[in-house]
Structure 1
Amino acid sequence: MDDIVRQAMAKWPNVPHCYGWLGLDARGNWYMRDDRTQAAGPFPVAKGSLLRHEKLVEFIHRNYERDDAGQWFFQNGPQRVYVELEATPFVWRIGGERQVTAHTGRAPQTVRECLVDEAGRVYLDTDIGLGIVHTLDVEAAADAIEQGAWVPREVAAAQLPERYRFVTSPAALRVRAQA
């Protein structure tokens, strides 16, 4: 987390959390979701505006974390902005020698498990969390599987959030908790 963010949190400790305004799609793209977009439907049905500002995206990546309840958020100064996830908290890119890197630029130390769901999507569970393999890198994952480096295990996509302790929609969870 950036030092400037820590300082803002200390200076303004009681800023309300923000829900529904930021989404992460299954390709690692961030979307800003204004009131009109949120009213049009849940993420990813209504995605919003693709964030293209490089410095803003880098700032989000550096300050992207998980709370104790499995909700992923971006710490924006003193405000915690919870993220709506299309698939998983991380989107993996696979480079040469099976080097795995998250959409945030973080690289896990180990791949603990390879999973394939009923639609053929590939996931990797790592020491930093679960992520879906980017669609452009499924061939690299298939090569790793064929070479015996990763042994896939079948999984139902609907079971992933509970099994790997992450929340796909903190906004929906909040609404249910308030009901």
Structure 2
Amino acid sequence: MDAIVEAALKKWPNVPHCHGWLALDARGDWYMRDDRIQAAGPFPQVKGSRIDHDKLKAFIARNYQADADGCWHFQNGPQRVYVQLEATPWVWRVQWPDGDVDGTPSVTSHTGLAAQVQGCWLDAEGRLYLSTDLGLGLVHSQDMLDAARAIEQGLWTPQPLDAAEAPRRFGFVRDPRP
């Protein structure tokens, strides 16, 4: 967490939490959902405005974490901005080192954190999930060929997963409410 955020928490400890205003889609993109967007429909059917500002995305990424109940949030100064999740709290990018035929792929979160794969899961829709030292995440759709290579090489062995059961099984909340 940024030092400036920690200082704000000490200065203003009782700021109310924010719900419904920030969302993470299945491709790792952040969305702002103002009152008008929230009234237009639930996430992800109505996404809102995608955040494209690099410094804002980096600030969110550095201050993204879960509370004790598995509700993911962005600590914005003294305020927790809870995140609605389309799929999982993490979206994994999978990449093989250039020219590497015998190694292992790197797995990096949508926030830029490196992760170590501990398990592999496949749902009925063909979406691939990885459980890691950071938690459960969905493999980005653009990286499915690289993930398939890891499966074909026997590095990961997918087990069946009921996507609706993933939050309970892996301890996260898709739509935190006050």
Q: TM-score, normalised by structure 2?
A: 0.95
In percent, how many aligned pairs have the same letter? 61
Q: Counterparts in 2 of 1:7-18, with a 5 A limit?
A: 7-18=7-18
Q: Which residue of 2 aligns with 1:177?
A: none
Give the superposition deviation at 1:42.
1.2
1:147 aligns with 2:153: yes
1:104 aligns with 2:111: yes
One-letter amino acid of the structure 2 residue matched with residue 75 of structure 1: Q
**Residues of 1 paired with 2:76 and 2:55: CA distance?**
13
Give the superposition deviation at 1:40.
1.1
1:125 aligns with 2:139: no
Give the superposition deviation at 1:46.
1.1
Q: Please list every run of 5 or more consecutive structure 2 residues that lacks an aligned counterpart in the other structure.
A: 97-103
Could you give the per-residue CA deviations for residues 68-90 of structure 1, whole angstroms, max 9, x where no partner exists?
00000000000000000000000
Say which SS state the counterpart of residue 56 (structure 2) adopts.
Answer: helix
One-letter amino acid of the structure 1 residue matched with residue 107 of structure 2: V
Q: Which residue of 1 aligns with 2:140?
A: 134
One-letter amino acid of the structure 1 residue matched with residue 109 of structure 2: A
Say which SS state the counterpart of residue 141 (structure 1) adopts.
Answer: helix
Could you give the per-residue CA deviations for residues 73-110 of structure 1, whole angstroms, max 9, x where no partner exists?
000000000000000000000111310000000011x2
Q: Please list every run of 5 or more consecutive structure 1 residues that lacks an aligned counterpart in the other structure.
A: 175-179
> 4+ residue stretches of structure 1 with deviation over 4 A?
none
Q: TM-score, normalised by structure 1?
A: 0.94
Say which SS state the counterpart of residue 170 (structure 1) adopts.
Answer: coil
> Of 156, 172, 175, which aligns to 1:169?
175
**Residues of 2 paired with 1:139 and 1:156: CA distance?**
22
Give the superposition deviation at 1:2.
0.1
Q: Which residue of 1 aligns with 2:70?
A: 70
**Residues of 1 paired with 2:57 and 2:135: CA distance?**
20
**Residues of 2 paired with 1:120 and 1:144: CA distance?**
16
**Residues of 1 paired with 2:114 and 2:42: CA distance?**
30
One-letter amino acid of the structure 1 residue matched with residue 127 of structure 2: R
Give the superposition deviation at 1:150.
0.3
Q: Counterparts in 2 of 1:37-56, with a 5 A limit?
A: 37-56=37-56
The number of equivalent residue pairs is 171
